[in-house]
Amino acid sequence: MKKRIAVLAGDGIGPEIMKEGLKVLDAIAKQFDHIFDYKEALVGGCAYDKYGHPLPDETKEVCNNSDAIYFGAVGGPKWENLPPELTPERGALLPLRGTYNLFANLRPAIIFGPLADAASLKSERLEGGLDILIVRELTGGIYFGRNKVKTLTLHEGAMQGNYAVDYMIYSVPEIERIAAVACDAAMKRNKKLTSVDKANVLESSKLWRKIITEYVQAHFPQIQLNHMYVDNAAMQLATNPKQFDVIVTGNMFGDILSDLASAITGSIGMLPSASLARTGFGLFEPIHGSAPDIAGLNKANPLAQILSGAMMLKYAFGLNRESKAIEEAIMKALENGYRTADLANKTTQKGKILSTSQMGDKVVEYLSNAGLETE
């Protein structure tokens, strides 16, 4: 199979973890006889520095001519105070999601068995592991409502002077299409769906709840659906995460809950994501940011980036076997005690704390020696 991949490494640790992601994809290409044709392009702060825009036309062109986008991370203190439309987040990442209609964001929160000791919860709460899928709506809600800062003089109560406003808007078709994705996922898993909203306060959430309920009743009555307010969902994730199978939620709630879920699984450095359009086109990125504080130190955990590559193989190219092979290689590396610094603790053997590039090498090693015995 031949595929064109737009490689957008971005800022901070982006380039160094991307290098490991590509290393692993190269190994897969060799082993399974595929051709991955990479086209690298700048995105985020580094693109702003060179072109004066975080998502230059050159980069859009590369994305337009690709079968999938493999993305690292963007942002950093250097670009924080630019006008909003030029920041890496609002000038590049959100427009990429919007332009390609990547409305369905899949964020699996899985505990890799050997990492149970790195998880932040008491191990009895995680007995038997954890496997949650967060389906986050990604191109609507408060991230994409019109944002305006207005100057207006109001004279009532606390509402005086300048104000800023963000609109949280959800339409019926937007809710229905994310419901469809979540139901599909639930059908392939344990047929349990939790919809998270704030319907006790927000109109957009009341509509969300109504439409999700109707959609499930009409199309997937076999799915066990429950609803949860977002504050309670945060508490439930922290105290009893094993009750969840698939969670479906809006853009901002999904952003917050997926960071929480990552902390539960051990490290934010472990969680990949797929952002998909209805056509199957997608962008694949770790859920963590650009971590400028450790950029260039060769100590970032590349596994979320590598796992995002595995998601790309599975969701964009239908290469399930190849995707599984990557997950298994990672599992072997972890089973054998290898850790990056973020995953290490006092039980980690000396000499098994790996740098970014060493972890990439280790995954490749277990990939090419699929039968390699446990050490």
Site string for ligand IPM, 60-79 (x = CB under 6 A): --------------------
- Between 11 and 322, CB nearer to ligand IPM: 11
Confirm whether 67 is a catalytic residue: no
Under the binding rule (CB under 6 A), the answer on residue 6 touching ligand IPM is no
Instruction: Kindly state the number of chain residues that form the binding site for ligand IPM, as judged by CB under 6 A.
Output: 5
Helix axes 303-311, 320-335, angle to 10 degrees: 160
Rounded to a whole number of angstroms, the minimum distance from the CB of residue 89 to ligand IPM is 4
Contact positions vs Mg ion (CB under 5 A): 255
- Taking the C-alpha atoms of residue 68 and residue 1, their distance in angstroms, rounded to an integer, is 14
Binder of residue 367, out of ligand IPM, Mg ion, none (CB less than 5 to 8 A by kind): none
Rounded to a whole number of angstroms, the minimum distance from the CB of residue 150 to ligand IPM is 23
Binding to ligand IPM in span 237-256, by CB under 6 A: 255
Binder of residue 89, out of Mg ion, ligand IPM, none (CB less than 5 to 8 A by kind): ligand IPM
Rounded to a whole number of angstroms, the minimum distance from the CB of residue 289 to ligand IPM is 6
Rounded to a whole number of angstroms, the minimum distance from the CB of residue 109 to Mg ion is 13
* Active-site residue, selected from the candidate residues 48, 100, 143, 215: 143
Q: Are residues 242 and 130 in contact, defined by beta-carbon separation less than 8 angstroms?
A: yes
Rounded to a whole number of angstroms, the minimum distance from the CB of residue 185 to ligand IPM is 19
Record the tokens describing residue 229, joined without a space: 């307010």
Confirm whether 342 is a catalytic residue: no
Q: Are residues 20 and 356 in contact, defined by beta-carbon separation less than 8 angstroms?
A: yes
Contact pick of 1, 15, 89, 298 for ligand IPM (by CB under 6 A): 89
Under the binding rule (CB under 6 A), the answer on residue 106 touching ligand IPM is no
Confirm whether 198 is a catalytic residue: yes
Site string for ligand IPM, 266-305 (x = CB under 6 A): ---------------------x-x----------------
Q: Which amino acid is residue 158, in one-letter code? A: A
Under the binding rule (CB under 6 A), the answer on residue 93 touching ligand IPM is yes
State the residue for tokens 């000791």. Answer: 117
- Between 98 and 337, CB nearer to ligand IPM: 98
Confirm whether 255 is a catalytic residue: yes
Closest to 173 (Cα-Cα) out of 221, 199, 208, 130: 208
Supply angle C-alpha 36, 275, 10, rounded to 5. Answer: 65
Confirm whether 48 is a catalytic residue: no
Catalytic residues: 143, 198, 231, 255, 259
By CB under 6 A, name the binding residues for ligand IPM: 89, 93, 255, 287, 289
